[in-house]
């Protein structure tokens, strides 16, 4: 199966999955909740600091059918895990997420989607975790992109205000999670939020960028930015527990 970078995958019956695993949710409002993760492989963006390049820059994974994923879901439920995180890559590229999420809800799962908010798809979801990508995510002069093709594509696609608004409005359970690289990101975040409605300060999360624990300075300015704006500080529990390790 071709792994996507620009168009949605229309098959509702199968899609490339790079991994499924049990762990705890590492980021956001449901941090610490034991969860089953389904990671779809393929992304329409290429963040400079992407921590899952095996689902974006070099997408890997076998095609999994809807039936196969639901068989695994039944086993997960039988073991007593009621939470599922559908992530990527960009999971909303994949049409299979519509029947998959509906079936998971029917099985009694609480469902989180993790998306960059550039693709709109009507899935079944309890927490839509939206992570709009800032200018600091663009892979300018990245050795993985010598011609600059992805830097241009990424810059064109990374923010889609109409889609962000549609996701916020459709899913009352949502969070807006921003990856903070430098204090210069704050003005861009405030500019994005000013153009959106229907969110509350408690839904806005600021997370220090990095695949290793943040420095004291980095934590300090992110903390101050949250404190002065009423936003949430977002740690990365999985990095603390396991480091930057696949399948956690
Ligand atoms: S949107 Fe997510 S998966 Fe895609 S490149 Fe950025 S961080 Fe990686």
- Atom of ligand 1 lying closest to residue 43 CA: 4
**Pocket test residue of 40, 55, 56 for ligand 1, highest count of atoms within 8 A of CB:** 56
In short, whether 50's Cβ falls inside 6 Å of ligand 1 is yes
Structure confidence by residue, pLDDT tens digits, 173-212? 999 999 999 999 999 999 999 999 999 999 999 999 877 7
Rounded to the nearest angstrom, the distance between the alpha carbon of 80 and the centre of ligand 1 is: 30
Which residue is closest in CA terms to ligand 1's atom 3? 89
Q: Is residue 98 part of a domain?
A: yes
The per-residue pLDDT for 5 is 54
Q: Which of helix, strand or coil describes residue 62?
A: strand
- CA–CA separation, 200 vs 135, rounded Å? 23
Task: Tell me the pLDDT tens digit for each residue of 34-49.
Answer: 999 999 999 999 999 9
| Residue 5 belongs to a domain | no
Domain membership of residue 2 (yes or no) is no
Domain contains 141: yes
* Other residues' Cβ atoms within 10 Å of the Cβ of residue 23: 17
Which of 86, 177, 74, 70 is closest to 123 using CA atoms? 86
Indicate whether residue 43 lines ligand 1 (CB < 6 A). Answer: yes
- 125-174: per-residue pLDDT in tens? 999 999 999 999 999 999 999 999 999 999 999 999 999 999 999 999 99
pTM here is 0.94
Using CA of residue 10, residue 150, residue 120, residue 247, what is the dihedral sign? Answer: positive
Query: Does the beta carbon of 56 lie inside 6 Å of ligand 1?
Result: yes
Q: Note whether residue 74 is domain-resident.
A: yes
| Closest protein CA for atom 7 of ligand 1 | 50
Residue 88 lies in a domain: yes
In-domain check, residue 234:
yes
Residue nearest to atom 6 of ligand 1 (CA): 47
Domain assignment of residue 21, given as a range: 14-242
12: Cα separation from own chain's centroid: 20
Tell me, using a 6 A CB cutoff, whether residue 52 lines ligand 1: yes
Q: 94: which strand partners?
A: 9
5 lines ligand 1 (CB under 6 A): no
- Write down the pLDDT at residue 236: 86
The reply to whether ligand 1 has any atom less than 6 angstroms from the CB of 125 is no
- The CATH number of whichever domain residue 114 belongs to comes to 3.20.20.70
Q: Given CA atoms 110, 116, 202, 193 in this order, what sign does their dihedral have?
A: negative
Residue that the structure tokens 């300018």 belong to = 140
**DSSP state, residue 142:** -
Tokens encoding 132:
């709009």
Residue 181 CB-density burial (10 A; 0-12 exposed, 13-18 middle, 19+ buried): middle
What's the number of domains the chain is made of?
A: 1
Evaluate whether residue 59 is within a structural domain: yes
Query: 205 C-alpha vs ligand 1 centroid, how far in Å?
Result: 17
């Amino acid at each position: 199966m071709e792994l996507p970078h620009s168009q949605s995958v229309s098959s509702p019956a199968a899609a490339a999955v790079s991994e499924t695993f049990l762990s705890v949710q590492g980021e956001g409002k449901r941090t610490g909740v034991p969860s089953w993760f389904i990671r779809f492989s393929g992304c329409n963006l290429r963040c400079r600091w992407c921590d899952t390049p095996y689902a974006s820059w070099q997408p890997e994974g076998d095609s999994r059918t809807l039936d196969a994923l639901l068989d695994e879901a039944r086993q997960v439920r039988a073991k007593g895990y009621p939470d599922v995180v559908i992530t990527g890559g960009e999971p909303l590229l994949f049409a299979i997420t519509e029947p998959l999420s509906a079936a998971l809800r029917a099985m009694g799962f609480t469902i989180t989607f993790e998306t960059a908010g550039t693709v709109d798809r009507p899935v079944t979801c309890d927490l839509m975790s939206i992570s709009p990508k800032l200018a600091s995510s663009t892979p300018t002069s990245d050795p993985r992109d010598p011609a600059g093709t992805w830097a241009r594509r990424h810059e064109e696609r990374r923010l889609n205000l109409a889609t962000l608004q549609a996701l916020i409005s459709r899913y009352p359970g949502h969070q807006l999670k921003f990856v903070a690289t430098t204090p210069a990101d704050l003005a861009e975040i405030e500019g994005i939020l000013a153009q959106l409605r229907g969110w509350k300060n408690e839904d806005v999360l600021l997370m220090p960028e990095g695949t290793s624990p943040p420095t004291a300075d980095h934590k300090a300015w992110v903390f101050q930015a949250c404190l002065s704006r009423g936003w949430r500080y977002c740690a990365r529990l999985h990095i603390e527990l396991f480091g930057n390790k696949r399948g956690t």
